[in-house]
Every structure is written in C-alpha cells, then in structure tokens.
Amino acid sequence: MSPELAAAGVALAAVMLYAMFGGADFGGGIWSLLAWGPRKQEQRLALEKAIGPVWETNHVWLILLVVTLFVVFPTAYAVIFEALYVPLFIALLGIVARGAAFAFRHYGQRESRLARQSLQWFSWASVADAVHLRAGDRCGNGRAHRGGGVDGWSPGPFTGWLGPFALMCGLIGLLICAFLAAAYMVPRTEGALQEDFRRRAIAASLALGVATTVAIPVAAADADAFASHLDDGRVVAAMAVTALLGLAALWALWTRRARLAPPLAAATVAGVVGAWGLAQHPYLLANALTYREAAAERITVVSFLVALPIGSLILVPSLWLLYWTFSRETLRGEEIAH
C-alpha cells in the first residue's frame, strides 16, 4: 500500500468516525425537535444528558479530516473548500450555533425564554448540519466541470450540491444522524422511554434503507461519474455487507436486544460511508482528481503517517475513557424527570 493510499484511508476513517459519533449528536438535535407524546420532555432531557459530556469532543474527527486534507491532499482541499464554501459555511455556522444554544439550554434556567429559544436553535442547527455536511458529497458526484480553477477543476459554488443526488445525500445524512441517535439511546433508557427511542430507531432504520436504495438510480440519472463505479465488485460487496448489517441492527431493535443496537447501528453507518469511499477509488473528486494527483510531496505524506500513531497513543485512550465513563449508567425516566 502506498503512503498516499494509506493517508486516503485515514481521511475515509475520519469521515466514518465523525458520522458514527458526531452524527449521533446531530441526531439528538433532530429528535429534540421531533419529540412528541406524553414523555417529550423526558425524551429531550435524556438526549441532553447523553450529549452533554461528549458533544464537543466528537468534533475531533472532523478536525482530523480537515487536517488530513490540508496537509496530505492540499490540491483537493483547495478545490473542495472553493467549490463548497456555501454549504460548508452553513454547516460551520450551524456547528457554532448549536454549541452555543446547547450551552444556554443545558446550563440556563430550564423554563426561561432563553432556554426555550435555545432548544429551537439547537434543534434546527443540528438539522442544517446533518443535511449540509452530507450534501457536500456532491464533490464526488462528478457533475462538476473542468474549468479555470485549481488544476483546471472549477465546479462553481452552486453547481451540483443543489441537484437531485446532492439533495438525496443530504436526506441520507439526516436519516443517518436520526438512526444513530435513537439507537444509541435505547440501552441508555428504560421502560416507556426506551420504547420511544426504540420505535424511532426502527422508523429511521427503515427510512435509511429506502433512501440508500433510491439513491442508486438517482445517482445513475444525476451523477453518472459516481454511478459508473457502483458496479465494481468491491463496492457491490461493501453494499451487500452494509445491507446485512442494517438488517441485523433492525433485528436487534425489533427483538429488544438493547445492547446490540448501538454497535450494529454504528457498523451500518460505517458500511454506508465505506461503500461510498470504495466507489470513489482512486478518486478524491470523481473522475477528476485522484488521491495521487492531489497528494503533497512524499516526505510530507510519510511524516503525517508517522506522526498520526504517536498522537493516537494519547488521543485514543483519552476518548475511550471519556466515552466509557459517560456510557456506563442507564438513564431512567424517573431520574431524568428530576
């Protein structure tokens, strides 16, 4: 394996991890917005308590992705941020807004006007982030044209990401976040509150399965460069494995195997992202820029790959301790209400 391919794998892993962890945070905002029924207040409080200790930490995976692109693939970094500065700006604004709103909501007076408004900001910003970060996949749909931009690749700020395939990617991103958040909350709750999240997870799982299936003909009609790679044997195998993982997650939710639901849900989402990454290979921008063409000098790539595991010796155990510490306790509905 070449150093450039290994670094591209790091970027793909960062996308997977951000989807699995940060996506669940965005999903918490989605379900806060959609909370209903006699326990809607308990649903929101349970989500807040689960998100509270880790929501800032989960952005480390987004930082890893940005740094990998900036250091190892500067050409692709320049093109992507030039082409997508509108949706990325909206996503960044949403990240900042939801963080501030969550802080006001979490630490302010519960029944104050500020707390109620903050809940709305937090929820809508989470929806915007889930849609716009995923809609950015339009860079891989191959609809952009070669022009006068970086290395002759200039898609334009509004080309493609408002098209049918990009909007479908945005919907898939929304459903991924909703599915993860609900599935993660199942073992963290009990009784009627657990049933609320279990039903939501099942609904989101079914909707995600439909959306990812529909995305294939939409890609064929609107993103031919991306769709041309979907018949590759590795991609077909990855999609088949992802479908099996999705069915296993649905089975775990349906049969009330609460502890199995989160890892199977996370594996399903990783499979969706992994299949997308394989469909891109060897391109960072579909049929326009390969990872070799976009890579920096070999010494830079190798230095990055050497430094990464050294930093991981501190980062990974710290994150494991954080997640383990705040996921041990089961949240009971009667405790949350107080």
pLDDT 10s digits, 195-218: 999 999 999 999 999 999 998 898
Looking at residue 148, what is its pLDDT?
Answer: 42
Q: Partners of 289 in the beta sheet?
A: 285
Least reliable range by pLDDT among 9-23, 117-131, 140-154: 140-154
> How confident is the model over 258-287, as pLDDT tens digits?
999 999 999 999 999 999 888 888 888 766
Residue 172 near residue 134 (C-beta atoms within 8 A): yes
Q: Which residue did the predictor score with more confidence, 41 or 113?
A: 41
Looking at residue 260, what is its pLDDT?
Answer: 94
Average of per-residue pLDDT across 284-310: 88
Q: Residue 304's CB: how many other CB atoms inside 10 A?
A: 18
Domain ranges of the chain: 3-336
Q: Which residue did the predictor score with more confidence, 150 or 57?
A: 57
Looking at residue 129, what is its pLDDT?
Answer: 58
Residues 30, 297: Cα–Cα separation, whole Å: 42
Provide the pLDDT confidence category of residue 335 given band limits of 50, 70 and 90.
Answer: very low
Average pLDDT of the chain, as a whole number:
80
Classify residue 136 by its DSSP letter.
Answer: G
Looking at residue 279, what is its pLDDT?
Answer: 87
Chain centroid, CA 315 distance in Å: 20
Three-state DSSP class for residue 260: coil
Asked if pLDDT for residue 332 goes beyond 50, the answer is no
Q: Which residue did the predictor score with more confidence, 294 or 229?
A: 294
Residues 34, 44: Cα–Cα separation, whole Å: 10
Asked if pLDDT for residue 300 goes beyond 90, the answer is yes
> 């997308």: which residue's tokens?
276
Q: Which residue did the predictor score with more confidence, 90 or 297?
A: 297
Looking at residue 194, what is its pLDDT?
Answer: 92
Asked if pLDDT for residue 123 goes beyond 90, the answer is no
Q: Which residue did the predictor score with more confidence, 108 or 281?
A: 281
Q: What is the pTM of this model?
A: 0.81
Provide the pLDDT confidence category of residue 146 given band limits of 50, 70 and 90.
Answer: very low
What does the DSSP assignment read for 177-228? Answer: HHHHHHHHHSTT--HHHHHHHHHHHHHHHHHHHHHHHHHHHHHHHH-HHHHT
Average of per-residue pLDDT across 235-264: 94
